[in-house]
Chain A
């Protein structure tokens, strides 16, 4: 195969990759911009003209979308903060300190990450109703730890292994205690990897659906994924397709922005845990 033909093959491949990845996203964007009569015109593009009515509708108060959004962001941020804090402490020890049981901790984290969430839904449903955590933010943040903590530990320990640890020894020679060396030398060095892990953890928490629909019953703690499924399937009235599409686009924009800015780091974070794991 000549170099020119080879280049053509890869370019066509590239085109398919882009189409594969983007069509469902563009489809939602198109639906969200369609005027109401055009929603059923079976066209991929909003050919009948563009409207922003769907967007003003979801923020007008008819649908509690802003509330879902606040809940989703709040819960995902809290879950990220807790799991990154605990995960960073643990990952530091795993990457740096010498102690028996390292392998066991990593194995436990991996096993828990692979674990089916439905297995804990029943007990949590029962417990939360008895102790008043049902339908609260805490009631979701706690089960989110089942997947955010293992992910944080795994990704962070992979990143922490790449840190130049000689600097820590240098700090200790200069008289710093191990804790001071950790706080004042390593934390700044570890910040970029920690930030990447935080993005991944946030995406996972942001994505959760199963806990959000089983452990909430009102808009008190309903997140965006649960809320979207409720105003699409639960109602006997006509499904507000345009509004749902607009809401979907709104919650996808932050993901697209993060992906565009941090793509290289996200890829490193996703694969480092698995390949070097």
Chain B
């Protein structure tokens, strides 16, 4: 069908069969128009609430902008970045955040896999188990952190190592343990649910066949289950790594702001010290770290990237 004929046809009678790539029928045009109209509010809102503040943060990070000295605001180029990147605080805080991220995500992967296997195999009490593990996921992070804080506090806690003469939460190693424990408790369910969804796509026939061939349960897990679950595992790891890296709530509450992750360092500069320039430089650097982590994962994904199968 020629484009002239398609244009000449009244809108209601536009034939849907013409699927020309360059010449759109009126129906297709109408569909696109509707699609853009439906998407526009959400997309514009998302960009307004994120892109604009991020660009603003970028601008702030290039200025001396201290709310205690509002008149001394001026363009200083990369000075704020140099100050942050040459300070030992930034690097030690970045190291601490990375350590917590790596350790908690690793523990979550192992525990989450165990949880997923249990949920996949049990034939009774599935509902109650699912409900039980959704509670840590749904509970407010601050509330979870308070519960763990009271466990670890000598006066209130019931844990034997909380009752030792010195407060566990007062020393650095103890803070790491408490933060990681809280993080693992709160987010392992999410990891487990993603892995459970991945387990469901591993065909039972493969396991039966391997069983017949004499493979043990452990062999079957490492040779069949794990390789087939690689995409699900990578997605779960990506989500959780990025989430753990921006850790704020639980560390802040558990140690009353004493332990610093990169997000808490940003908070200290921005809100406690009111130094918007330096704080924004920290924020932009955190944003860059997240981009780097995401890029590394996406490279590892290959074709299994989320969104890759979205053409429907």
Residues of chain A at the chain B interface (Cβ within 8 Å): 1, 10-11, 13-14, 17-18, 20-22, 24-25, 27-28, 31, 39-40, 42-44, 86-87, 89-90, 92-95, 97-100, 102-103, 105-112, 114-127, 142-143, 145-146, 149-150, 153, 161, 178-179, 203, 206-207, 209-210, 213-214, 224-225, 228-229, 232-233, 241, 244-245, 248, 251-252, 255-256, 258-260, 263-264, 266-267, 270-271, 274-277
Check A178 against B31 for contact (C-beta < 8 Å): yes
Nearest Cβ on chain A to B50's Cβ, whole angstroms: 5
With an 8 Å Cβ cutoff, the count of chain B residues facing the other chain is 106
Interface residue? B175 (CB, 8 A):
no
Majority DSSP secondary structure for residues of B touching A: helix
Please list 14 pairs of residues, one from A and one from B, whose beta carbons are closer than 8 Å in the complex, sorted by A's number.
Answer: A24-B185, A27-B147, A27-B151, A89-B39, A108-B47, A116-B287, A122-B276, A123-B53, A142-B49, A149-B45, A232-B256, A233-B257, A267-B193, A275-B232
Interface residue? B142 (CB, 8 A):
yes
Find chain B residues with CB under 8 A from A270 CB.
Answer: 137, 190, 193-194
Nearest Cβ on chain B to A181's Cβ, whole angstroms: 11
Find chain A residues with CB under 8 A from B235 CB.
Answer: 274-275, 277
Assembly CA distance A94 to B35 (angstroms): 8
Among B86-94, B101-109, B123-131, B220-228, the stretch that binds chain A is: B123-131
Check B49 against A27 for contact (C-beta < 8 Å): no
Interface residue? B246 (CB, 8 A):
yes
Find chain A residues with CB under 8 A from B121 CB.
Answer: 10
What would 18 more interface pairs be, CB under 8 Å, given A42-B158, A112-B50, A275-B232?
A18-B132, A21-B132, A24-B144, A90-B43, A98-B28, A108-B47, A112-B46, A121-B271, A122-B60, A145-B49, A203-B138, A207-B141, A232-B146, A259-B134, A263-B127, A263-B130, A271-B194, A274-B239
Interface residue? B38 (CB, 8 A):
yes
Closest A residue by C-beta to B306? A277
Interface residue? B140 (CB, 8 A):
yes
Check B217 against A1 for contact (C-beta < 8 Å): yes
Nearest Cβ on chain B to A51's Cβ, whole angstroms: 16
Nearest Cβ on chain A to B270's Cβ, whole angstroms: 4
Find chain B residues with CB under 8 A from A17 CB.
Answer: 115, 118-119, 129, 132-133
Nearest Cβ on chain A to B106's Cβ, whole angstroms: 17
Nearest Cβ on chain A to B202's Cβ, whole angstroms: 13
Check A21 against B147 for contact (C-beta < 8 Å): no
Interface residue? B310 (CB, 8 A):
yes
Q: Total contacts A to B, CB within 8 angstroms? A: 305
Assembly CA distance A95 to B311 (angstroms): 9
Find chain A residues with CB under 8 A from B150 CB.
Answer: 27-28, 31, 241, 245
Closest B residue by C-beta to A261? B131
Assembly CA distance A20 to B54 (angstroms): 39
Nearest Cβ on chain B to A164's Cβ, whole angstroms: 14
Q: Which 4 A-B pairs rank lowest in CB-CB distance, beginning with the nearest?
A: A120-B53, A90-B42, A123-B56, A271-B197
Among B46, B49, B232, B242, contact of A114 (Cβ-Cβ < 8 Å): B242
Find chain A residues with CB under 8 A from B117 CB.
Answer: 13
Check B283 against A119 for contact (C-beta < 8 Å): yes
Find chain B residues with CB under 8 A from A22 CB.
Answer: 132, 135
Find chain B residues with CB under 8 A from A232 CB.
Answer: 146, 253, 256
Nearest Cβ on chain B to A161's Cβ, whole angstroms: 6
Nearest Cβ on chain B to A241's Cβ, whole angstroms: 6
Interface bits B8-51 vs A (CB < 8 Å: 1, else 0): 00000000000000000000101110111011011101110110
From known contacts A87-B42, A228-B146, A248-B147, infer whether A103 and B270 are also in contact, taking CB-CB under 8 Å.
no
Check A244 against B146 for contact (C-beta < 8 Å): yes
Interface bits B226-248 vs A (CB < 8 Å: 1, else 0): 00000010011001001101101
Find chain B residues with CB under 8 A from A123 CB.
Answer: 52-54, 56-57, 60, 280
Check A259 against B135 for contact (C-beta < 8 Å): yes
Find chain B residues with CB under 8 A from A120 CB.
Answer: 49-50, 53-54, 57, 283
Among A97, A111, A114, contact of B34 (Cβ-Cβ < 8 Å): A97
From known contacts A44-B158, A122-B279, A255-B139, infer whether A13 and B290 are also in contact, taking CB-CB under 8 Å.
no
Closest B residue by C-beta to A98? B31
Check B307 against A10 for contact (C-beta < 8 Å): no
Among A13, A127, A145, contact of B56 (Cβ-Cβ < 8 Å): A127
Among B118, B142, B280, contact of A209 (Cβ-Cβ < 8 Å): B142
Nearest Cβ on chain A to B64's Cβ, whole angstroms: 14
Check B157 against A118 for contact (C-beta < 8 Å): no
Find chain B residues with CB under 8 A from A119 CB.
Answer: 53-54, 57, 266, 283-284, 286-287
Interface residue? B180 (CB, 8 A):
no
Among B140, B146, B196, B270, contact of A206 (Cβ-Cβ < 8 Å): B140
Find chain A residues with CB under 8 A from B287 CB.
Answer: 115-116, 119
Closest A residue by C-beta to B147? A24
Nearest Cβ on chain A to B11's Cβ, whole angstroms: 11
